Every structure is written in C-alpha cells, then in structure tokens.
Amino acid sequence: MKVLIVDDEKPARERLKRLLGAMPEYKIVAEARNGNEAIELAREYEPDIALMDIRMPGMDGLESARHITNNERPPAIIFTTAFSDHALEAFESHAVDYLLKPVKVEKLQESLAACSRLNRAQVQDRLDQVSQEEVRKHICARVRGNLVLIPLEDIFYFQAEQKYVTVRHIDGEVLIEEPLKKLEQEFATDFHRIHRNALVRLDKIAGMKNNPDGHQVFFNEIDDKLEISRRHLPGVRKVLKNL
C-alpha cells in the first residue's frame, strides 16, 4: 500500500521512514513538510494511507485532511501528535486512528492494519466526523493544473452558477465545485447569504444600495456589486445594522 508521510520536522519523518522500511507491504511514495505540500502530493500520488502530523506551521493537519478528503481517491489518514490534548477525545469517539509521538512500531502496525481495512466511504465518514467542527482557513482550487490556496480572509464572496461556484478574492477569482449550501454551513460565522446563489463575507461589505434594479451590496477594495433577493433582504438589513 502507498503511504504519504506529512510532518514539518525532519527527525519525525525519518523515524517513520525507518519504521516503515521494515514493513515491505507498505511503500513510501512521498514526503510533505506542511499541509500545503500534503494536498499537492496526495493528488499527485494518490496514496492509500497518509501519516499526518496535526500541529504544523501554516496549514495544520486537520485542515489539510479536510482538503484531501475531497480528492477522487482520498487516503485513510492516521494523525500523529506529540500532544495528548482534547483533540484526541474526538479521534477516539469517532474511531479515527492516531498515534502519539514518538511513534512506536507496534502501534504503527496496528493503525496501518486498521486503516488498510477501511473502504473509501468509511474513510470519508470518519474524517467528516472528526473535523465537522473544524473550519477551514483556506479554499483550495485548481488553476491551469496548479494548486491554489486562497486564505478565507481574502475572499469577498461565493457565487454559484450551475455546478460551479465562483470564489471572488483579492487577487481575482477561481472556480470550485463545492456546494454553496456546504460553504454556508461551514462559514456561517463570517459569511451571509444574500441571494439563493450568493454568500458574502460580512467584514468586506461597504454598504447596501437601492437602485431601479433592486437592492445590492457593494464592497471595500473592489467595484463588484451583488443583488440582494427580496427573500433575503430583511436578514441582510438586520446583519448590516449589527455590524
């Protein structure tokens, strides 16, 4: 089975490589030093299992795992951590595999065997459960074959059209295939629905205008204007009043 190792510390990666070297049924296909690299390498190599450090600078293991599970062939993920903190309670209650550092060979073998028995639906379900309260800090998109990670604070709005959603951000826009409803649920604290096809970031709104075509919101930093539907107008007024 193909394995991806993800850890920002080289000694931790080397230890996992030594332990896996004694297990001929597992082949290391790539190493990542952070969550960003993990997303790219998981798409490129399609590993069966990812050994994922939790606490890394930039994008942590939990957020990286959430992006990776959107892959067509997501790996089973074994989280590794040096901290026996509250997060481990979530892993245990949802039966997500994890290892405490320094990783011991017996525990690694057990976790690898358990993940090897999971089917794809079970992998997705377990990671959905463990990360359901973890909000992403980035949106991941593919642009001309390259991976683009857009910080959430740089996004002005999401706008749906057919099966795609336009992500309008400070440097332009990209298309993603995530449902608008899912984005609304995950980012409810920072974004508000103004139309059946649009979510806007609250702290990017400059104000609201009424013109012959109806009500619109406009933004700081960009000239875009978005229509507010009659259905959502009362809610938008209430939200803007409280900003």
Segment 51-66 shows an average pLDDT of 87
Residues of the chain with CATH 2.40.50.1020: 138-242
Can you list the pairs that 11-18 forms with residues at least 24 positions away whose Cβ atoms lie under 8 Å? 12/53, 12/80, 12/101, 15/102, 15/103, 16/51, 16/80, 16/103, 16/108
- pLDDT tens-place string over residues 177-205: 889 999 999 899 999 999 999 999 999 99
Residues of the chain with CATH 3.40.50.2300: 2-130
- pLDDT tens-place string over residues 208-241: 998 887 899 999 899 999 999 999 999 999 998 8
User: Which of the following CATH numbers is that of domain 138-242: 2.40.50.1020, 3.30.565.10, 2.60.40.10, 3.40.720.10?
Assistant: 2.40.50.1020
At the topology level of CATH, where does 2-130 sit?
Rossmann fold (3.40.50)
Q: Check whether 151 has a pLDDT greater than 90.
A: yes
Confidence band for 134, pLDDT divided at 50, 70 and 90: low
Segment 26-36 shows an average pLDDT of 95
Q: Check whether 93 has a pLDDT greater than 50.
A: no
Q: Check whether 169 has a pLDDT greater than 60.
A: yes
Confidence band for 90, pLDDT divided at 50, 70 and 90: very low
